[in-house]
Structure 1
């Protein structure tokens, strides 16, 4: 399919490790028509979010486990493959198993490569296949180069771009993107701050830290937040938020003691209360905003716990970054 035809005719998309289908959100935001969207995902909570939105959409096709997909079956269909294979064993934040592409989960990259290779090799002559891959920027140079070389075996025109989501969102998220989409590059910065998206309270950083599958605690999380730069917290009082870090850490234990909060139960508190008297954690809605996911896309889905909603968001792609890269298809 020629580039000039994409916007008019629409495309068929395969999203591997699809999560909550942020690739679909990005394509729609980019104004690219989707004819069929094939989604490969096995997490029950992500699937519940997908089903909430797309169970009645006959063009949204769930394929299940990536290991069971035969690329040859899709050779006549797919115009674009989007994927972010598991970063579990690649990320520097994993202190237990950092075997990179040899790790139990991160080796699934090779399943994605197998599928893409078969689609490419057995596709009709002159049919163009585009792809976009995302993964953590903190992987080793060795793993980065292996991925580049593996993808270059299929696509000689592979380009690698490093982007921090903070350029277009209120949160840091440094990621590597491999693609053969023409003219991709660093997105035009947007002026949006962490403080701009909070419902109540005050923050002490211009941009939030990267979202993870879990956050810090409401008891002693403030120490991990400041000393390890992990997690995100929102303060009750602006005066406290504006204090130097060491003064915050000195005063906080007394505030916690006075509040009577012992961390065993959050019953009786909403997402926007400050049970420890000092700070709270970002809500599901605010976490959506940190990832530029539409308000309510995850937070309004029933019958999923807050913990599992936040995990699903933490594993997602930053929608506006993906939008900026996919816009070049037009």
Structure 2
């Protein structure tokens, strides 16, 4: 008999990134005995190393393609992953081949590993899984994923959740799982403005965090036209203007600031180099994802660009924590 709450579980996290699955399980109060991570991105690995280099229960397996699920079988209680969304997301205007795309087809590697673990696992041991991916994928790809997972597990549920229900930022995702008693979280009062270090915002929730942001020169136009990126304004009076008026006034503000883009003249994340708006800091980006604010920001020798990229690919920790918390009641 395994008491998940008190005795702990062994976890395999595929496409692990900065190990937000670990943060979520810990936040849900679930003890982790062994945490097997599969990741190849250099920045993500550097952040992992900073936090877990001396943790003998944190085991880095490397490339997902080289993982043998048969060898892990009875070692793993939970497989958690968000396979690459690159070719699935509606934000990609160039290559939306879905599960046939070069990156998003890695879903099938995760599927292979799930099959190998499930088929070689002792009959009396349950294997749980949780998969996350973009809600904007085509219905065809969504249905393929669901069907493939149902061929392995007979108790698959699919939930569509916008992280904005319990975090300060939108992040619309689909979650597939066989964890029992999962539910869509009830909304809580937490807004974009509540995580700011300075400045003002003109919306209740931040946009979804991507691996990059709009520019500090003319990015405000793209921000409003495409509803992408996140910006923080210097003056409250500017925030209160209608969008059309903002766009009319901004060019003269930019000209007066003398800012011309990548000049290296803005070392402080909290400054407003163009006289009008700035990007969120890494601490603020982390708060939007409900990741501890110094978890990524406090890692040295990594650029803000690379840190933002890893955050853009991460889980919303509080959403995953909500979904996995049901494991605490499972005694097998």
TM-score by length of 1: 0.98
Shift, 1:190, TM fit? 1.4
Cα distance in 1 for partners of 2:48, 2:166 equals: 25
**Residue-by-residue CA offset, 1:172-195 (whole Å, 9 max, x unaligned):** 000000000001111021110000
Q: Contact (CA 8 Å) 2:266, 2:273: kept in 1 or not?
A: no
Alignment RMSD (CA, Å)? 0.7
**Residue-by-residue CA offset, 1:28-71 (whole Å, 9 max, x unaligned):** 00000000000000000000000000000000000000000000
Cα distance in 1 for partners of 2:241, 2:225 equals: 15
Cα distance in 1 for partners of 2:267, 2:251 equals: 20
The gaps in structure 2 that reach 5 residues or longer are none
SS, match of residue 37 in structure 1 = strand
Alignment partner, residue 255 of structure 1: 253
Cα distance in 1 for partners of 2:202, 2:316 equals: 22
**Residue-by-residue CA offset, 1:296-328 (whole Å, 9 max, x unaligned):** 000010011110000000000000000000001
Change (3 A) 1:209 1:268: closer
Alignment partner, residue 98 of structure 2: 100
Alignment partner, residue 152 of structure 2: 154
Shift, 1:265, TM fit? 1.2
User: 1:85-124 counterparts in 2 under 5 A?
Assistant: 85-124=83-122
SS, match of residue 297 in structure 1 = helix
Cα distance in 1 for partners of 2:304, 2:270 equals: 13
Cα distance in 1 for partners of 2:31, 2:19 equals: 15
User: 1:32-181 counterparts in 2 under 5 A?
Assistant: 32-181=30-179
Of the three residues 311, 316, 321, the one matched with 2:319 is 321
Shift, 1:93, TM fit? 0.5
Alignment partner, residue 217 of structure 1: 215
Cα distance in 2 for partners of 1:107, 1:12 equals: 26
Shift, 1:126, TM fit? 1.0
Of the three residues 233, 236, 253, the one matched with 2:234 is 236
Cα distance in 1 for partners of 2:50, 2:104 equals: 28
Shift, 1:242, TM fit? 1.1
SS, match of residue 210 in structure 2 = coil
Q: Contact (CA 8 Å) 1:269, 1:275: kept in 2 or not?
A: no
Give the paired residue count.
328
Shift, 1:267, TM fit? 2.7
Change (3 A) 1:147 1:268: closer
Of the three residues 247, 265, 268, the one matched with 1:267 is 265
Cα distance in 1 for partners of 2:267, 2:38 equals: 37
User: 1:2-17 counterparts in 2 under 5 A?
Assistant: 5-17=3-15
The gaps in structure 1 that reach 5 residues or longer are none
Q: Contact (CA 8 Å) 1:89, 1:106: kept in 2 or not?
A: yes
Shift, 1:268, TM fit? 4.4
Cα distance in 2 for partners of 1:39, 1:269 equals: 34
TM-score by length of 2: 0.98
Alignment partner, residue 298 of structure 1: 296
Change (3 A) 1:266 1:241: farther
